[in-house]
Structure 1
Amino acid sequence: MAALLSTASLAFSAELNIYNWGEYINPEVLKKFEEETKIKVNLSTYSSNEEMLAKIQGGATGYDIVFPSVHMQDIMAKLDLLEKTDINQYEGFKNIDPQFLRAKSDPKGEYCLPYAFGTVGILYNRTVLGKDITGWHDLFETAKAKGVKFTLLDDMREVMAVGLILNGHPVNSTDPNDLQQAADTIIGIKPEVAAFTYDARPMVQSGDVAAAHFFVGGMVDVFGDPKNLGYVIPEEGATMYQEDICVLKTAPNKDNAIKFLQFYTRPEVAALNIAQQTNGTPNVPARQLTPENIKNSKEINPTDETMKRLQIFEDLGSGLRQLDRAWTKVKTAQ
């Protein structure tokens, strides 16, 4: 046994510490990286950009790689937390669609690698609702008429974005009047809201709630039960998200981290991840390697027309305080 343990430790003489959103990477991707490089991957997870930033700013120094959303990448760049990797000089970077170089702080991709994108829409149980829904107003009316409930994400920006969109305002508005209208809209539907939560998928699957404000990654459930479940990008508009792979300035294993970024530029690797994640990928050749149901899904790969209705969050700077005040009103309203 001692000999076996010694061999195992020798097999992984190097390490890489990844800090990612919960269940946001296919374990097979990490296994493939380990097998090819003999670098041991340690995965830790977080549930929000803010949680991740607080941990890093709080002095956590063991992490090598994080996966911030675009606006959080810009915030982290301002705070000088990210390492310049020059990943854009690597040959595999040619596979990345340039429209996904969205970070204002990194327009050329000198720091981070675009990882995945998707929409935030409505995952729903058509058996409970008795129909397919087209968007938020349709859900509100149907839920009220049927006496059923739905969940919203426990996420300030995403929930306030729903209120802003429904009032015709941009999701990055910090105008107090816009935010007041958005808050009033969300407070108005609270009687139909079962909870603010990220953990809604099992509740929708079981029919305990009729629908959930959720990420397109919920399509994995729709594929598993297409008779009962659906996902819709609301006709009124929606947010889209994009996460990038960034190396921290405090990373103890910078060389291994850059190896991972290079590894992830390979189409077959990105496709392997998307096959389990059901997100979109900025890696253009990878799209053709994904399973047919993902390749042909307009929910995962929105049309150009749908993309025009999507908005992405930006760093609001000091304006975030206005948003926080409105969110507090929403959460505390009875």
Structure 2
Amino acid sequence: MKWMTTTATALIATLAFAGAASAAGELNIYNWGDYTSPELIKKFEQQFDVKVTVTDYDSNDTALAKVRAGGHGFDIVVPSANYVPIWVKEGLLVEARPDQMENFKNVDPRWIDVAWDPGRHYTVPWQWGLTGIGVNTSVYKGDINTSAIFLDPPAELAGKINVAPEMNDVLFATIKYFGGDWCTMDKDVLRKTRDKLVEAKAKWLAMDYSVTEKLPAGDYSAVYYWNGAIMRSRAKNADIKFGYPKEGFPFFMDSVAILKDAKNPENAKLFMNFIMDPENAAMISAFAKYANGIKGSEKFLPADMQTAPELVVPTEFEAAGEFLIACDPEVQQLYSKIWTEVQK
């Protein structure tokens, strides 16, 4: 590193202060519920003198419909990987070029040239994880490493199950349960998938997002849900255990993007760069208990996240995991029809 003169250092400090001062204003974030660290938001507000408002949504489809309708007032959205291409294709996002931002150097190389945003011209990593099984082992002591927990529930769990109300995650696991491939159009597999979900739903108690409260409290005895939420549940109830569906389970990544009609695009860019700082990325993960995709964040994470059974995939189940990608429109239409029938 080159030595800097006192004058040069003072000039840089002055410019940095001016940049922070000019950032004063607002930032409106539209994100998944219970997914944003209050500590992170407080730090950003204090550092840049920006008032942040976070509004929750409950699914990718909800977020997309709200923004499509216009008049939303949001600057930032956090779509999942399989939805990012839809947002880009419909012209809903700014090509913010986070790959040219100062902190982009901290992004783990595996998350740069991604299929949904090659080279990261639109998005930066927020968190990533997988969808699996959470079971209260004081209620059920059998094998939990299977999607049968929610598709063919054992008697102990029937009527006590919650399933994430996210179409692609549920269809993925069910299609894999019947030996199919994601994005398949095989009529036999899809018929079995539809019939099984309609049958199984009668044995579920709910399809909602209240897992971190209701699973440890005993309101649910089993869930098909996201690993971070199940880890948070285990912190409240040691009987909660995590299972990896051996038939197949989906990985996901949610990423921060700036909306085309954002009222505060410069503050949104500041936030993008801010969350690519390792210490800040660790704050995101420490709150919601998912991995973040930023190199160097590990040293700032709580020790229990390094070895958590919900976050460290056992070798025997690694091959069962597959990244949830966007299917072709005609496939997605078929899946939407199945989902509509399941929700009746």
What TM-score do the two structures reach when normalised by structure 1?
0.88
One-letter code aligned to 1:96? V
Q: Which runs of 5+ in 2 are unaligned?
A: 1-20
- Farther-moved stretch of structure 1 (285-294 vs 123-132): 123-132
Choose from 303, 309, 326 the match for 1:292.
Answer: 303
Indicate yes or no: 2:138 matched with 1:120: no
Correspondence for 1:224: 236
For residues 191 and 56 of structure 1, do their structure 2 counterparts lie closer, same or farther at Cα, with a shift above 3 Å needed? Answer: closer
Indicate yes or no: 2:6 matched with 1:14: no
Q: How do 1:100-115 and structure 2 match up within 5 A?
A: 100-101=111-112, 103-115=114-126
One-letter code aligned to 1:275? A
Deviation at 1:13, TM superposition (A): 4.1
Q: Deviations over 1:134-171 (max 9, x none)?
A: 22236666622566531222222222222101011123
User: What is the RMSD of the two structures over their aligned residues, measured on CA atoms?
Assistant: 2.3
Correspondence for 1:97: 108
Deviation at 1:221, TM superposition (A): 1.4
Choose from 220, 243, 257 the match for 2:254.
Answer: 243
For residues 101 and 317 of structure 1, do their structure 2 counterparts lie closer, same or farther at Cα, with a shift above 3 Å needed? Answer: farther
Correspondence for 1:26: 37
Q: Is the 8 A contact 2:216 2:234 kept in 1?
A: no
Q: Deviations over 1:94-127 (max 9, x none)?
A: 2212322465352001111011101111121111
Q: How do 1:8-157 and structure 2 match up within 5 A?
A: 13-101=24-112, 103-131=114-142, 133-137=144-148, 143-144=154-155, 149-157=160-168
Deviation at 1:308, TM superposition (A): 3.3
Choose from 272, 276, 294 the match for 2:283.
Answer: 272
Q: Is the 8 A contact 1:280 1:301 kept in 2?
A: no
- Farther-moved stretch of structure 1 (152-161 vs 275-284): 152-161
One-letter code aligned to 1:316? D
Distance (Å, rounded) in 2 between the aligned partners of 1:124 and 1:102: 36
Q: Is the 8 A contact 2:127 2:255 kept in 1?
A: yes
Correspondence for 1:317: 329
For residues 181 and 62 of structure 1, do their structure 2 counterparts lie closer, same or farther at Cα, with a shift above 3 Å needed? Answer: same
Distance (Å, rounded) in 1 between the aligned partners of 2:199 and 2:221: 18
Distance (Å, rounded) in 1 between the aligned partners of 2:220 and 2:67: 35
What TM-score do the two structures reach when normalised by structure 2?
0.86
Correspondence for 1:7: none
Give the number of equivalent residue pairs: 322
Correspondence for 1:331: 343
